[in-house]
Structure 1
Amino acid sequence: MNAINALLQLAFLLSGCAALIYQSIWTHYLGLTLGHAAYAQSLVLMMFMGGMALGAWVVSRITTRLHRPVMAYASVETLIGLLGLAFHGVFLAVTQWSEATVLPAIGSAGGAALWQWLSAALLITPQTVLLGATFPLMAAGVLRLPGSAQGRTLGGLYFINGLGAALGALLATFVLLPRWGMPGALTAAGWLNLAVAALSCAAARGMHGPESGTGPQPTPSAAAPGRLLHALLAATFLSSAASFAYELGWVRMLNQALGSSLHSFELMLSAFILGLALGGLWVRQVGDRIADLVRYAGIVQVLMALCAMLSVAVLGSAYHWVPWLMTALARSAAGYVLYNVATASIAMVIMVPAAFFAGMTLPLFTAALLRRGAGERAVGQIYAANTLGAILGVLVAAHGLMPLMGVSLMLLLAGALDLAIGLALLRVLSPGRWTPAVAAAGLLGAGTLGTLLQWGLPDRLLQSAGVFRYATDQLDQRELLFYRDGATASISVVRQHGKLVIATNGKPDAALSPLVQRPGPDESTMMMLAALPLAAHPRPEDVALIGWGSGLSTHAVLGSDKPKRVDTIEIEPAMWEGARMLAPNNSRAYQDPRSKVHFEDAREFFARGQRQYDVIISEPSNPWVSGVASLFTHEFYRRVRASLKPGGMLVQWVHSYEMSDPLLAQMIAALLQSFPDSEVYAANSADLVILAPTAELPPLSGEPWRQPLLAAELRRVGMGSPGDLAMRRLGSSALLRTYVRLNEAAAHSDFFPTVSLQAPQERFANANAALMQRLATSGPPVLQVLDCRPRPGREQGRLAVRADQMIEARQQALWALDRWAGRVIPAARGSDVNRQVDALLTHRRASTPLDADSLMLYLANLANNLLPHGPEAEQHALWDQAGWRREHPDLPTKVHDQLALYDATVQRDWPAAEAAASRLLARPAAELPPALREQALVLGMLAGKAQGQAAAVRDWEARWGTAVPAGPFGATRRFLKAWEDGGERACAAASP
């Protein structure tokens, strides 16, 4: 029998693993129809528990009549596995039918939401009901084995299943999803269930005779089983509700400390489940030696309440631990692994003590009923009540208590509920009177609750500080103006260094400066999101925005009289309420009657297809935030395109900070599938704006500047004319296609959530997807030659916003040319470029010039800064060989070749540029600095492309590339090769 028992234990371990794989992956699937991860997580949790409660209740009514419960268990596992293998196909069929037929036929938002929730629930109900049947069936089979002891058996099953569940949550997110995506992860879980069924069949065949022996015999008791049953069913129902309120509250507060990423959530979930499993292990070890199980359960409830309430104070300390952790760890892949280990450790410190006691309750209550004569049916009844309580806990906590009283008070209330349950068990059932121990427990719990209410609540200013991002818990110069725990996130508004910052779970979403102060980079982004479509679309009458944020984008759109209706879709009402604190910057968003806000998920909103738009502006949160990456998939962009009128356009924000080029390329590849004629703009050094039309784009008009209020707001952020907007254009769809090709990026998909999986690590490592901005701001004029990026005049490009790398580079180039021409510029405008110019001026006027190599390096560095930016005539004065000959007639020929290369490039004399580059590269390697050789190689390639040479890049690499190792221009060379490999035509080749 020991071998059979071991086989069944292994099967139940694997069953728990598969169950949590389903729960984790179902959250991703249902998030595609319900939207925000918080809603999907709560629904999956409620349906998961509800289905299991129903399954357990059904089995509880028939288990005593089953002669071979292990064979029945194997049959159930087989059905679960088959449904798991079929789930992806069923999901696609149902959602396609829903979007094509059902949702368009439903008139109201409420009806559509009801259908979305109902259809999502029905998708997972069959498997969840079957999953609920597994525990009572397995328990019945193992309890009938000779020598089974109730406490040891039930505690052991609960532990082994919980351990498998904890492993399953980690396996799903860290192994299966990255390798095989959502369909592959479900397939793996399905085959795991089939393996469990095979193991169970083998164990059942090894049992001698029918499994339905008599089972453990109940012992007589003074307490009536009926009264005890009702009391323990109520206790497990309420205790389970409190436990899941703990889980949701802990996760929300840990998100503020550790970040709201998918990895963090799964690590927290695993820590919670591990605590439950360890509680089952404890009961397995000591359960059969406990004389009074009900009294023991009452003590457990009191201890759980104390640990849960104290966890609030421990959570407050976590906001101080994380900054130290972020400072200590290297921002690398290895550092991120350690960060995840630390995340799991912090989660265990906070969660495991209370979860440990929570894990003891179900086996204790079940064993108590079995010992008092309730029979096998009690296993299913207790399990059903426990799971129904979990549904209540999730529903009331997420959608009632958390928004009403906040996370901290909700956790304390749940702890008070557990304390009351424990006292009731000790006072009413065993021993039935107020003993000194019971009174002491009550006083201790009440004292703990009062102390925490007075002194132990976390500092809300610290909760909003984003310690996981900024690695500091210093609150100097921070003033909390607004804080609210919403159903999906905690929103705060803080005044810091004169700016107002609105944040979600501690992550800043926007920062606005007072109107009398210099604006920040976020403001230029939000103003560009509004100005681009207003300048590009001839009649932007119906406009939709995804994400309220600060409200400034909505405000800016309403600065024009062209829009007739502006719908803003925001998932969290607390965000809309908090952004009121940012007035008057966003006042039109709240006061203009054209402004309508919809508190729902964007995917669901557009899936209904009730209205089509001329312009949709998408400005969600960062893609590393759990649930947000689904707004950057090709399936979502296909849905957005269907919501646009003919000639409509999408305006998509995406950041380049905390993001790698390969990952950004996946999101751009997804967008290009539905919007192949897109263009990309740089709002500032860190934010990109993609203008994605459904038809050919007309030239940008001056419409936004014909609106007086909007024109003044645009001037404030440095966009005083259409030319200022145009100079921020990085390139066309050819640039974006080449960028995707260079990074070998597959389109980001709903079912392969690579962004959700990879972006948290890139955020941690401070990655930077800066290639497109670098191509525009320094080095050879790649984008001007290949993609018609305009070379603006002096009147364009006023530096109005801090951290605007493109405009800063432009200004530095102009100041350098001013210095060269002898025009006086303020000393404060000194820079490396100006120092290079000063060195060259000194050299030209010196009687003893610099050596040729040093001079060539100065010239090469200066060319990198001037070629993409400076006006042609002014640069010609700098590179003109005749002027240099007058000052230094003895300059080496190679210097004149270098000057000729730059001058020909500025004047777009491509044959001359090609010849000068060839002359430089033909010289022995020792005669030229390596950086200059690579610069000449790239300029030669550009000259060839500008003359229409289809294979210019390959030819130049074949001729000179092996002698020029990849250096500062290595990425540029790869970009040029990708451009040529895609058959893209150079803009200059088509220009007169």
Structure 2
Amino acid sequence: MPMPAARLERMLLLLFVASSFAGLVYQAIWSHYLGLVLGHAAYAQTLVLAIFMGGMALGAWLVSARGGRWAGLIRAYAIVELVIGATALVFHPMFVGYMSLSQETVLPALEGESTIRLWQWGTAALMIAPQSVMLGMTFPLMSGGYLRVAPGQDGQILGGLYFTNSIGAAAGALVATFLLLPWIGMPGAIMVAGVINVLVGLLAWRVSIGAEAAAAPAVEAPSIVAPETSVEQSERKSLGRFSTLLLFGAGITGASSFVYEIGWIRMLNQALGATVHSFELMLSAFILGLAFGGLWVRKRSARIVDPVNAAGWAQVLMGLAALVSLPLFANSFAWVGALMKVLPRTDTGYDLYALGSAAISLAIMFPAAFFAGMTLPLFTMALLRRGAGERSIGRIYAANTLGAIAGVMLAVHVLIPLMGLRLAVTLAALADILLGLVLLRGFVVEYRQRPYFAALFATLAVCAVSLLFGAPDPKAQASGVFRYGNERLGDLADVRFLRDGKTATVSFYTQGAMGTIATNGKPDASINLAAGEPMDDEYTMVMAASLPLALHPDPERIAIIGWGSGLTTHTILGSSAPKLVDTIEIEPAMVTGARLYGDSVKRAYTDPRGHLRVDDARTYFSASAKGYDVIVSEPSNPWVSGVSSLFTREFYRFLGKHLGDRGILVQWIQTYELNDRLFYSMVAALIEEYPYVHAYLTNSADVIFIASYAPIRDYDAARLQEMPLAADLKRTGLATAGDHQVRRFADRAVLKGLIELFDAPVHTDYLPSVALHAPRSRFKGESVLSVSTLMGVGMPLLEMTGGRRPVPVSAQVAATDASPAAKDHVNARRVREVLLGTGTGKGLDAPIVEKLKLLRDPATPLPAWLDAASVIADFSLGYLTPEDLQGVWIDPVWVGDRASDPRVAALLSAYAAASRRDAAAMSTTGIAALKVLPQGLAPNLLRDHLLVIAMLGAVGEGDLARVRKLEDVHGASVKVSNNFYGLARAYLSAWAEANAKTGATATAAR
């Protein structure tokens, strides 16, 4: 029995919403999957999109060519949905098997870069092409079947389907990124989409029974026909020319729409930040515009007498709206700045920022996208009303999709690199307007001269306004307004370079003597171009070069991921040890902009041993048969879209296969704009793969990890004395092995404890938690506090749990405020000199000098003396070697008669045991002193010291169960004195728990 028309319509539209929802989930998730195969280089990104769009076009064409012969289009639609869903359910295990086969068997056996790339691209196409073809079949099947049920309602049906298709797609893009990926990862998300397709297929099969009973048969040409009259021949030729024009127009509007989409997203990355969240919000804003354009056609289809006239005006208005979007973009930096100034740095504030980002994206994208959403239903209506038949639906859809592919390729590889984002969007807008004018002039039922010339005049006026007011302020583009709310750089800043590259907009600007290179407004490196104090980034970049030079036995072949300023490459080439230095950079504009650093990075551009490789890291290493002694990975911040995939367990394993037997991986991770759990999630991925890992805090906010499959040897200090490397190191206060070693704070055991403390999961390719959560962390201004906090604990905490090795005073570590570790060591050295009577304490802060006076004054009351002792111990005991603590806390020469007080004697015994790193003595003296120095007499800091000393004693003795027991028994009575010791005690318990699982103990305690 036929289904009632109203109910049938609701069912079909609901099914198509669900289907398009699943389709955009696939596109979003496939881009993550194939990014693991192809990388994130511009050609790889466009290839992924081309596979998807090309498959869609082929599917639509197949339906247009064959669908007219099929009796049950909705039933065919149901079968296609079921096959798509079944394929999705097995996609992840197939992909994992493919990756294993590819990386472990096929790629190592292939020779030649072209052969490797052919394998990557060809297999990537095969992974998603069949599903893409079937997805392309769904729209013409559904719309054709629907039209058979309700002939004569072409505009209403097509507009409704375009609307539901786009609404479902917009929802799919958002749900995939904001809900499914964080919740169940890539495998779970794609399975959810597969289940939806299966359910849609089953329901569509059920609907087809009632729908097709009421369907009119497809109108097909009879197999035997009478000869055509001359009039009929003329009409057929006219229809052919008309169809060709509209197919060509559908291709043009598809191309221009994708130029808009890519251009707008690239522009808004500079204002909103290049995160996975902002990308999906922008994409959804664009798709939403398409949806409401289709809805407009649906609601007014009965009143549209001439679809070509409506399509022509839609094209003109789309182009005009695109031109207007450019001045709007130029003002978007002020809008984002206003948002950042009023929103709290909280989770709620971030949610509001996301809504504000969506509103800004809609303001810029929606108008033009709205008119773009009108064009396809209108083109299809025009063909249907001229008698082209239902096959025209698939042909228009295919032509539009092929145009979209051409638009992506043109935008990324031609227009943007040659003329920049703004002119690329302008050219696409003029193409749309020209197409509209052609339709309005020669193909409408009634040509109207006055509106036509009004459109010409409006084009000239709007284009002039757009060119005049659409150029954003370079200081706004380079400002990174999405970070701190400053809508432009200060008046003293000078933007000396600004270029729209294939993948990002790169700027170089100076502020006084500081030169900064930035990607989409996010600073990647800063260098002091004068002879003054180095910038914080310089310490990190120089150490990323010097550490592997000093630690690897023979660092001849080195690869560096990320050009940045070029300083790391420049520094490495200051040594004669490397014979080959390959620097892999995805964006050529970065290399061009960094030239403005001049002599600071000169060797990176001139030394013949250095080679620039413009490529994505995964793609380059897959296509390269080279084995490296050292790989230095210096990616941008993990919250930047696409970057977090360089911090996963699978990527670290992948890099390990390109290291030699004693190869070293150097990994830079920022501690700012991240929280501890996200940070240690990436660290967990690293130590999961490499058994030997050391960590260094280079300044106050950057950590460098040294990872290897082989034991990491001691420094070869002689390597650092060679010119011109030695001059670079001296400038940054890193001239000696001691300057490097003082910054080391962790080994694998310490990192395991910190991972346990923050319950950090291993970061993997298939659950990209860092990309999904780091943008929120950045907005909230979070930082990793554990590293600097534990390094600021004055007891031998990190040393006895395996990380830090105190540097002897004889190393003469250079004093610098840029390194908390170096500053702590130098302050400890000054305290030692005062207590031994060999120094005045010059350079120490006044409060410390005052505590030293109280400590040596026999008249100081005991409570004040104990307070002074705890402060001075906290500034010295953990930062010096046992040898250098002789006379300070071991057999102290300064204590005088006060040592006869049993309470003082108990404290000095505990401090002496800790200074000697005598685990057995620490266990007993710490608790003994705690008993005779109760709260009220002894300050909280001192009692914290004693409990931590006892816990470290248990660590040193290997009694890890006792570590937690000490906290359980004494923790309640020992009030936490400050954040340093609150974290220290929690860390010790977590360290014991984590290392007890594997039977590990600290190196220093063995």
Q: Residue 708 of structure 2 aligns with which residue?
A: 693
Q: Which moved more, 1:328-337 or 1:611-620?
A: 328-337
Q: Does 1:13 align with 2:17?
A: yes
Deviation at 1:207, TM superposition (A): 2.6
**Counterpart amino acid of 1:762?**
S
Q: Which moved more, 1:967-976 or 1:271-280?
A: 967-976
Does structure 2 conserve the Cα–Cα contact (< 8 Å) formed by 1:27 and 1:40?
Answer: no
- Structure 2: which 5+ runs fail to align? 222-231
Q: Residue 362 of structure 1 aligns with which residue?
A: 376
Tell me how far apart the structure 1 counterparts of residues 124 and 633 of structure 2 sit (CA, whole Å).
25
Does structure 2 conserve the Cα–Cα contact (< 8 Å) formed by 1:23 and 1:44?
Answer: no
Q: Residue 273 of structure 2 aligns with which residue?
A: 259
Tell me: CA distance 1:83–1:805, structure 2 relative to 1, closer, same or farther (3 Å): same
Q: Residue 504 of structure 1 aligns with which residue?
A: 519
Q: Could you report, residue by residue, the CA deviation over 1:77-120 in whole angstroms, capped at 9, with x for unpaired residues?
A: 11111111122222223333333444334433344334322221
Does structure 1 conserve the Cα–Cα contact (< 8 Å) formed by 2:750 and 2:803?
Answer: no
Q: Residue 918 of structure 1 aligns with which residue?
A: 927
Q: Residue 140 of structure 1 aligns with which residue?
A: 144
Does structure 2 conserve the Cα–Cα contact (< 8 Å) formed by 1:181 and 1:751?
Answer: yes
Identify the match of residue 671 of structure 1 among 683, 686, 694: 686
Q: Residue 159 of structure 1 aligns with which residue?
A: 163
Q: Could you report, residue by residue, the CA deviation over 1:444-502 in whole angstroms, capped at 9, with x for unpaired residues?
A: 11222122223321122311211112321242221111121111111111112311111
Identify the match of residue 478 of structure 1 among 476, 493, 499: 493
Deviation at 1:209, TM superposition (A): 2.1
Q: Does 1:57 align with 2:73?
A: no
Give the TM-score normalised by the residue count of structure 1: 0.94
Tell me: CA distance 1:727–1:883, structure 2 relative to 1, closer, same or farther (3 Å): closer
Q: Could you report, residue by residue, the CA deviation over 1:897-949 in whole angstroms, capped at 9, with x for unpaired residues?
A: 44443344224355554444223433554444444433321121112323444
Q: Which moved more, 1:694-703 or 1:519-528?
A: 694-703
Map of 1:565-714 to 2, 5 A cutoff?
A: 565-714=580-729
Does structure 1 conserve the Cα–Cα contact (< 8 Å) formed by 2:855 and 2:868?
Answer: no
Q: Which moved more, 1:868-877 or 1:742-751?
A: 868-877
Tell me how far apart the structure 1 counterparts of residues 640 and 212 of structure 2 sit (CA, whole Å).
54
Does structure 1 conserve the Cα–Cα contact (< 8 Å) formed by 2:906 and 2:929?
Answer: yes
Does structure 2 conserve the Cα–Cα contact (< 8 Å) formed by 1:651 and 1:689?
Answer: yes
**Counterpart amino acid of 2:990?**
A
**Counterpart amino acid of 1:941?**
M
**Counterpart amino acid of 1:295?**
N
Map of 1:256-295 to 2, 5 A cutoff?
A: 256-295=270-309
**Counterpart amino acid of 2:619?**
E
Deviation at 1:146, TM superposition (A): 3.8
Deviation at 1:591, TM superposition (A): 0.8
Q: Residue 256 of structure 2 aligns with which residue?
A: 242
Q: Secondary structure in 2 aligned to 1:951? A: helix
Q: Residue 206 of structure 2 aligns with which residue?
A: 202
Tell me: CA distance 1:916–1:102, structure 2 relative to 1, closer, same or farther (3 Å): closer
Identify the match of residue 750 of structure 2 among 721, 728, 735: 735
Map of 1:42-191 to 2, 5 A cutoff?
A: 42-146=46-150, 149-191=153-195
Deviation at 1:609, TM superposition (A): 4.6
Q: Could you report, residue by residue, the CA deviation over 1:711-740 in whole angstroms, capped at 9, with x for unpaired residues?
A: 111111111111222222213222222222
Tell me how far apart the structure 2 counterparts of residues 436 and 472 of structure 1 sit (CA, whole Å).
47
Tell me how far apart the structure 1 counterparts of residues 602 and 991 of structure 2 sit (CA, whole Å).
45
Tell me how far apart the structure 2 counterparts of residues 944 and 842 of structure 1 sit (CA, whole Å).
33
Q: Which moved more, 1:764-773 or 1:516-525?
A: 764-773
Tell me how far apart the structure 2 counterparts of residues 835 and 29 of structure 1 sit (CA, whole Å).
57
Identify the match of residue 345 of structure 2 among 331, 337, 340: 331
Tell me how far apart the structure 1 counterparts of residues 405 and 186 of structure 2 sit (CA, whole Å).
25
Deviation at 1:548, TM superposition (A): 1.2
Tell me: CA distance 1:911–1:194, structure 2 relative to 1, closer, same or farther (3 Å): closer
Q: Which moved more, 1:96-105 or 1:448-457?
A: 96-105
Does structure 1 conserve the Cα–Cα contact (< 8 Å) formed by 2:542 and 2:729?
Answer: yes
Q: Which moved more, 1:904-913 or 1:540-549?
A: 904-913
Q: Does 1:960 align with 2:970?
A: yes
Q: Which moved more, 1:645-654 or 1:241-250?
A: 645-654
Does structure 1 conserve the Cα–Cα contact (< 8 Å) formed by 2:478 and 2:489?
Answer: no
Tell me how far apart the structure 1 counterparts of residues 687 and 854 of structure 2 sit (CA, whole Å).
51
Tell me how far apart the structure 1 counterparts of residues 220 and 841 of structure 2 sit (CA, whole Å).
93
Q: Does 1:859 align with 2:869?
A: yes
Tell me how far apart the structure 2 counterparts of residues 319 and 954 of structure 1 sit (CA, whole Å).
52
Deviation at 1:595, TM superposition (A): 0.8
Q: Secondary structure in 2 aligned to 1:567? A: strand
Deviation at 1:770, TM superposition (A): 3.1
Deviation at 1:222, TM superposition (A): 9.1
Tell me how far apart the structure 1 counterparts of residues 10 and 406 of structure 2 sit (CA, whole Å).
35
Identify the match of residue 522 of structure 1 among 512, 531, 537: 537
Tell me how far apart the structure 1 counterparts of residues 489 and 190 of structure 2 sit (CA, whole Å).
45
Deviation at 1:512, TM superposition (A): 1.1
State how many pairs are aligned. 982
Q: Residue 376 of structure 1 aligns with which residue?
A: 390
**Counterpart amino acid of 1:608?**
A
Does structure 2 conserve the Cα–Cα contact (< 8 Å) formed by 1:775 and 1:781?
Answer: no
Tell me how far apart the structure 2 counterparts of residues 940 and 842 of structure 1 sit (CA, whole Å).
27
Q: Residue 430 of structure 1 aligns with which residue?
A: 444
Tell me how far apart the structure 1 counterparts of residues 385 and 671 of structure 2 sit (CA, whole Å).
63
Q: Which moved more, 1:811-820 or 1:468-477?
A: 811-820
Q: Secondary structure in 2 aligned to 1:569? A: strand
Q: Residue 985 of structure 1 aligns with which residue?
A: 1001
Tell me how far apart the structure 2 counterparts of residues 931 and 15 of structure 1 sit (CA, whole Å).
63
**Counterpart amino acid of 1:641?**
G
Tell me: CA distance 1:882–1:695, structure 2 relative to 1, closer, same or farther (3 Å): closer
**Counterpart amino acid of 1:971?**
L
Deviation at 1:520, TM superposition (A): 1.2
Q: Residue 554 of structure 1 aligns with which residue?
A: 569
Identify the match of residue 835 of structure 1 among 833, 844, 847: 847
Tell me: CA distance 1:825–1:519, structure 2 relative to 1, closer, same or farther (3 Å): farther
Q: Secondary structure in 1 aligned to 2:782? A: coil
Tell me how far apart the structure 2 counterparts of residues 527 and 201 of structure 1 sit (CA, whole Å).
65
**Counterpart amino acid of 1:951?**
A
Does structure 2 conserve the Cα–Cα contact (< 8 Å) formed by 1:69 and 1:211?
Answer: no
Q: Secondary structure in 2 aligned to 1:583? A: helix
Q: Which moved more, 1:758-767 or 1:946-955?
A: 946-955
Tell me how far apart the structure 1 counterparts of residues 769 and 182 of structure 2 sit (CA, whole Å).
7
Q: Which moved more, 1:590-599 or 1:767-776?
A: 767-776
Tell me how far apart the structure 1 counterparts of residues 189 and 762 of structure 2 sit (CA, whole Å).
20
Q: Secondary structure in 1 aligned to 2:809? A: coil
Tell me how far apart the structure 1 counterparts of residues 533 and 281 of structure 2 sit (CA, whole Å).
42
Q: Could you report, residue by residue, the CA deviation over 1:231-258 in whole angstroms, capped at 9, with x for unpaired residues?
A: 2111111011111111101111111111
Deviation at 1:74, TM superposition (A): 0.3
**Counterpart amino acid of 1:388?**
L
Tell me how far apart the structure 2 counterparts of residues 339 and 238 of structure 1 sit (CA, whole Å).
35
Q: Secondary structure in 2 aligned to 1:245? A: helix
Tell me: CA distance 1:304–1:846, structure 2 relative to 1, closer, same or farther (3 Å): farther
Q: Which moved more, 1:952-961 or 1:272-281?
A: 952-961
Q: Could you report, residue by residue, the CA deviation over 1:502-544 in whole angstroms, capped at 9, with x for unpaired residues?
A: 1111111111112522211211111111111111112111111
Q: Residue 749 of structure 1 aligns with which residue?
A: 764
- Structure 1: which 5+ runs fail to align? none
Q: Residue 557 of structure 2 aligns with which residue?
A: 542
Q: Residue 227 of structure 2 aligns with which residue?
A: none
Deviation at 1:42, TM superposition (A): 2.7
Q: Could you report, residue by residue, the CA deviation over 1:612-633 in whole angstroms, capped at 9, with x for unpaired residues?
A: 1111111111111111111111
Tell me how far apart the structure 1 counterparts of residues 990 and 760 of structure 2 sit (CA, whole Å).
12
**Counterpart amino acid of 2:245?**
A
Tell me: CA distance 1:837–1:191, structure 2 relative to 1, closer, same or farther (3 Å): same
Tell me how far apart the structure 2 counterparts of residues 444 and 825 of structure 1 sit (CA, whole Å).
79
Tell me how far apart the structure 1 counterparts of residues 486 and 75 of structure 2 sit (CA, whole Å).
57
Tell me how far apart the structure 1 counterparts of residues 103 and 185 of structure 2 sit (CA, whole Å).
23
